[in-house]
Amino acid sequence: MKLGVLGGGQLGRMLGLAGIPLGLRFRFLDASAEVPAAAVGEVHAGAYTDLAALARFAAGLDLVTLEFENVPADACRTLARTLPVLPGARALAEAQDRLREKTLFRELGIPVPRFAPVDDATSLQRALGEVGLPAVLKTRRLGYDGKGQVVLREAADAVPALAALGGRELILEEWIPFERELSLLAVRSRGGALACYPLVENQHRGGILALSRSPARGITPALEQEADRHARALLERLEYAGVLAIEFFQRDGRLLANEIAPRVHNSGHWTIEGAVTSQFENHLRAVLGWPLGDTAPRGHAAMINLVGTHPPAAELARLPRTHVHLYGKEPRAGRKLGHLTLVEASPSELERHLDAVLRAVRPELAGA
Amino acid sequence: MKLGVLGGGQLGRMLGLAGIPLGLRFRFLDASAEVPAAAVGEVHAGAYTDLAALARFAAGLDLVTLEFENVPADACRTLARTLPVLPGARALAEAQDRLREKTLFRELGIPVPRFAPVDDATSLQRALGEVGLPAVLKTRRLGYDGKGQVVLREAADAVPALAALGGRELILEEWIPFERELSLLAVRSRGGALACYPLVENQHRGGILALSRSPARGITPALEQEADRHARALLERLEYAGVLAIEFFQRDGRLLANEIAPRVHNSGHWTIEGAVTSQFENHLRAVLGWPLGDTAPRGHAAMINLVGTHPPAAELARLPRTHVHLYGKEPRAGRKLGHLTLVEASPSELERHLDAVLRAVRPELAGA
């Protein structure tokens, strides 16, 4: 069984590492052949918009999935004429456009911050009336890691913000003074089976995920069930197959949906050692229509992202009881180069261990 | 950092799967390019005796290790002129020859069944006098999975046994009516640090490992310490770097050393999910001179080998809480095609789960 993956970054690499033991083989499509996934399969270097490259990529594959959500929906549709592409163009289209995504949340009864579409100065004024201040003006498409967004604190910020982001379709969103970000990793198989991992608690630095704890601290069963309900509603509406991440803001004990990622997600990397079945294996099981694996945690886990730079591997190997995951990428500011995972039997052991590891590799996060 | 591995079978494949997250890249040397390790690195197809092939293989590597112990010692010596080869020719030479291996055990004070060298009918008669009956006549070299050995129950078996194995250097060993086979996985780093996994209990079928349980049932701390002492004596004497497996017979509460394998070992596959650090990762840490990872178990584990044939992967995926490892090999009688690993919190949960999985995949082992 040979799977194609659109995108060849670290998520593709970890899909390959999870799939090889299942007897799967992989081919990746990416702009360059020098990508992290090259360690675990063949890489076709090509553009998603090049129909001939897509045809060569598809030849001999049993199935296509993706590790990058900004694949043009046209590429998915072209591939879907000859073989299954999962999750499909529908889920991508919803996830690629913040306005459609938030509209879908609202339709499904999932609480969401106030929002309104913005195309120009006139619609921005109307949106400010609906949403209020402070607010965040964002591009509807292609934003990630905090890029393509401007915070509006007062009315005078509106014109410069529009100028900074202008010429693109935008959305104005209520700025939420949230207590923390939570994310839920959910997986649905082609056969309709559904499973969720525990709610995860995320901390960012510079708009980039820095630290995840699983399970999130102090979650009530009611909140966990609410998150699972929202996930089920979304995945069933989208007739989704694979892993999907939902990011929530937590405020006053309530969840507000922020966005979805129709793929395996950085806040689920802890599942490699911290859950019975990793998000990567479960994504593969789901798109293949196999039974899902158990999503139960194997303890209390934390995941620390290594961003921009990191100590040499031999130094990281000194950290006790720490699982090292490097992606084989060249250091560059703001680039995710790897992650570390800790799994301990109790929250207090995890916090003690996490504090020691953070002091060694990301001291700015210690105590956070 | 690019590592060369002599041999490209499933052990190489699992070394690659463990090493890629550490940022390592791999090149394998095997007779064929169509080997399990091809999923995780480049494969050079060539003979260990082909000096030009060895030179091409070595070019650009930082280090060479092995996943197959019957590599000619000459190949190691040739490679060792230009780069580190670990474990080295010394350990291989001891492990490749049952007579040297058993002599080493005796020198180190490790209890061992009686044995004597056999080259011809005369020395066989002398050996029978020393060893007694029943006994096992074995080739000194290149035996594995029960091949190259004949059991002698009475004096009349001697001549036919010699005829069956003749023309090669042989060893006669006391036949031990052992209660069970235990194995110990030990790892020693280039810097001299040493760690052991718990004693494992192994069951064979047709001379091939079928089932391992870790930790072995009913082991006293004294027996565990005795095994660790033997491992330390061996690895220090050999100035060993990497993982080494020692197989013991258990009889009347005592350990008798049977043989060593100077590499990662089938009875250590449970460590992938069942220990904090897998034998594969620890082998790589050891040969690189990095700090060793924690060998502590993460519960009670069992490993079931899939030999000759197995249900399709989608069927194996139905087994609850079962980790599937397939090697990408064509089915063939007696061939190790994959393994399953179970990890549970208690011995009773493990036995219940193991019984259910054995009934599904290897019913002949259920209740064993």
Same domain assignment for residues A168 and A270 = no
Question: Which pTM does this prediction carry?
Answer: 0.96
Predicted confidence band at A143 (pLDDT cuts at 50, 70, 90)? low
User: Could you tell me which chain A residue has the CA closest to the CA of B41?
Assistant: A39
The crossing angle, in degrees rounded to 10, of helices B73-80 and B51-58 is: 50
- Statement: residue A228 has pLDDT above 90: yes
- Statement: residue A313 has pLDDT above 80: yes
Average pLDDT, chain A: 95
Same domain assignment for residues B224 and B253 = yes
For residue B167, the 8-state DSSP code is: T
| Cis upstream peptide for A215 (omega within 30°) | yes
User: Within 10 A of A254 (CB to CB), how many other CB atoms are there?
Assistant: 12
In a domain, A106, yes or no: no
- Statement: residue A144 has pLDDT above 70: no
| DSSP assignment of B197-211 | PPPEEEEEETTEEEE
Position B157 scores a pLDDT of 92
Same domain assignment for residues A124 and A256 = no
CATH for B232: 3.30.470.20
Dihedral pair phi/psi, residue A82, rounded to 5°: -115, -15
Query: In what side-by-side order are the strands of the sheet with B135-139?
Result: B115-118, B170-174, B135-139, B149-152
Residue where a domain stops, chosen among A70, A85, A100: A85
In a domain, B240, yes or no: yes
Domain extent, residue B138, equals 114-174
**Nearest-CA neighbor of A182 among A235, A251, A233?**
A251
Complex-level ipTM? 0.95
Query: In what side-by-side order are the strands of the sheet with A2-6?
Result: A42-45, A25-30, A2-6, A63-66
Position B367 scores a pLDDT of 83
- For the segment A5-56, what is each residue's pLDDT rounded down to a tens digit? 999 999 999 999 999 999 999 999 999 999 999 999 999 999 999 999 999 9
Residue where a domain stops, chosen among B174, B196, B214: B174
In a domain, B101, yes or no: no
A40 and B41: CB-CB below 8 Å? no
How many structural domains compose chain B? 3
Same domain assignment for residues A64 and A78 = yes
In a domain, B92, yes or no: no
Instruction: Quote the percentage of chain A above a pLDDT of 70.
Output: 98
Could you tell me if B281 and B197 are in contact, meaning their C-beta atoms sit under 8 angstroms apart? no
Position A281 scores a pLDDT of 98
CATH for B35: 3.40.50.20
- Shortest CB distance from A290 goes to which of B40, B276, B317? B317
Could you tell me if B132 and B174 are in contact, meaning their C-beta atoms sit under 8 angstroms apart? yes
Q: How far is A47 from chain B (nearest CA, A)?
A: 25
In a domain, A103, yes or no: no
Same domain assignment for residues A18 and A122 = no
Same domain assignment for residues A185 and A169 = no
- Statement: residue B143 has pLDDT above 70: no
- Statement: residue B146 has pLDDT above 80: no
Residue where a domain stops, chosen among A174, A190, A209: A174
In a domain, A193, yes or no: yes
Number of inter-chain CB pairs under 8 A, A vs B: 77
- For the segment B254-297, what is each residue's pLDDT rounded down to a tens digit? 999 999 999 999 999 999 999 999 999 999 999 999 999 999 99
Same domain assignment for residues B160 and B245 = no
Same domain assignment for residues A186 and A130 = no
Same domain assignment for residues A336 and A241 = yes
- For the segment B58-69, what is each residue's pLDDT rounded down to a tens digit? 999 999 999 998
Same domain assignment for residues B358 and B291 = yes
Same domain assignment for residues B162 and B295 = no
User: Could you tell me which chain A residue has the CA closest to the CA of B272?
Assistant: A273
In a domain, A167, yes or no: yes
In a domain, A329, yes or no: yes
- For the segment A257-286, what is each residue's pLDDT rounded down to a tens digit? 999 999 999 999 999 999 999 999 999 999
**Nearest-CA neighbor of B184 among B244, B105, B240, B271?**
B244
Does any CB of chain A come closer than 8 Å to the CB of residue B43?
no
Same domain assignment for residues A233 and A358 = yes
Does any CB of chain A come closer than 8 Å to the CB of residue B193?
no
Q: How far is A266 from chain B (nearest CA, A)?
A: 15
Q: How far apart are CA B76 and CA B85, in angstroms?
A: 7
Position B70 scores a pLDDT of 86
Position B358 scores a pLDDT of 98
Read off the pLDDT of each residue in A154-180 and give the average, rounded to a whole number. Answer: 91
- Which chain B residues are closer than 8 Å to A1 by Cβ? 313
Position B298 scores a pLDDT of 97
Could you tell me if A91 and A240 are in contact, meaning their C-beta atoms sit under 8 angstroms apart? yes
| DSSP assignment of B102-147 | HHHHHHTT-----EEEESSHHHHHHHHHHH-SSEEEEESSS--TTT
Position A69 scores a pLDDT of 86
- For the segment A50-99, what is each residue's pLDDT rounded down to a tens digit? 999 999 999 999 999 999 988 888 899 999 999 999 998 889 999 999 99
CATH for A119: 3.30.1490.20
Read off the pLDDT of each residue in B16-44 and give the average, rounded to a whole number. Answer: 98
- Which chain A residues are closer than 8 Å to B314 by Cβ? 288-290
Read off the pLDDT of each residue in B151-173 and give the average, rounded to a whole number. Answer: 91
H-state helical runs in A2-96: 10-19, 51-58, 73-80, 89-96
